Amino acid sequence: MSQRTAHSSAEVRAQSRIHLSNEGEIRKKDIRLIKQRFLNLHRLRLQRVQQALTPRQHIFLDLLPLLFHVNHPILPGYISSSVPAGIPDYSPSQNVVRRAKSLGKGFVFRKRALRVYPIDGIYLMGSVGSVAHSSKSDLDIWLCHSTHLSDSAVHALNEKAIAIEQWADSLDLEVHFFLIDSEQFREGAATPLSSESSGSTQHHLLLEEFYRTALYIAGRYPA
């Protein structure tokens, strides 16, 4: 390695370091750096999952966030226009819009500004993105929603999730959605994920699993 190359590498490493103030605070510039590293890592993990799927199944992960961002009669899982929809900081790529149109030429994506987003985030859980994942693995998906949704709204959202599971089954994919109230989970409330344990033990096990295995799809970033 030449002296110039070594110097350039040292500069890159210095620029990529996270700096803490004396009070332990992180600069905004470093927060952006952490966020970009997070997105890059999960983009690579998602590519690994796609490689384990058949070409016919790729459309499921491509459209997954879009299905919960809008209600459109031509898209899989459509129940009604009143089902809670909308994910913060999400906008489909041109490729995703093309995939949606492949299901029917009548699909048109229109941006809309929402004051409140009912879906906080979507995450794949478990062995997904790891060496343990294979084409025969099922997909467990946490659909984290706002705590302010009414019981009827949560029920409608669950009906949509079931319909999307059925669409996935037509693609030979075994998919399971778990609706999570973000605020209740943060506070340690019981979740519908397991009947084998309860209370704080279950909460801490699930929290550990989330930070260890969750693969970010769309929405808010874990903190």
Q: Is residue 42 part of a domain?
A: yes
Q: Is residue 125 part of a domain?
A: yes
- pLDDT of residue 60 exceeding 90: yes
Q: How many domains does the chain have?
A: 1
Q: Is residue 126 part of a domain?
A: yes
Domain of residue 96, residue span: 27-219
- Angle formed at CA 122 by CA 193 and CA 36, multiple of 5 degrees: 130
User: Per-residue b/e over 172-211, b at no fewer than 16 CB within 10 Å?
Assistant: ebebebbbbbbeebeeeeebebeeeeeeeebbeebeeebe
Alpha-carbon dihedral 161, 163, 165, 169, rounded to 10 degrees: -170
Q: pLDDT for 161-208, tens place per residue?
A: 999 999 999 999 999 999 999 888 777 665 555 444 344 556 566 666
In percent, how much of the chain has pLDDT > 70?
68
Q: Is residue 78 part of a domain?
A: yes
Q: Is residue 189 part of a domain?
A: yes
* 180 within 8 A of 144, measured Cβ to Cβ: yes
Q: Is residue 49 part of a domain?
A: yes
Q: Is residue 94 part of a domain?
A: yes
Residue bearing the bigger pLDDT, 184 or 21: 184
The residues, ordered by sequence, that sit 6+ positions from 1 with a Cβ below 8 Å of its Cβ are 9
Rounded-to-integer distance, Cα 87 and Cα 119, Å:
5
Rounded-to-integer distance, Cα 73 and Cα 82, Å:
12
Q: Is residue 109 part of a domain?
A: yes
Structure tokens at 35: 């966020």
Q: pLDDT for 96-148, tens place per residue?
A: 999 999 998 889 998 887 888 999 999 988 755 444 445 566 888 999 999 99
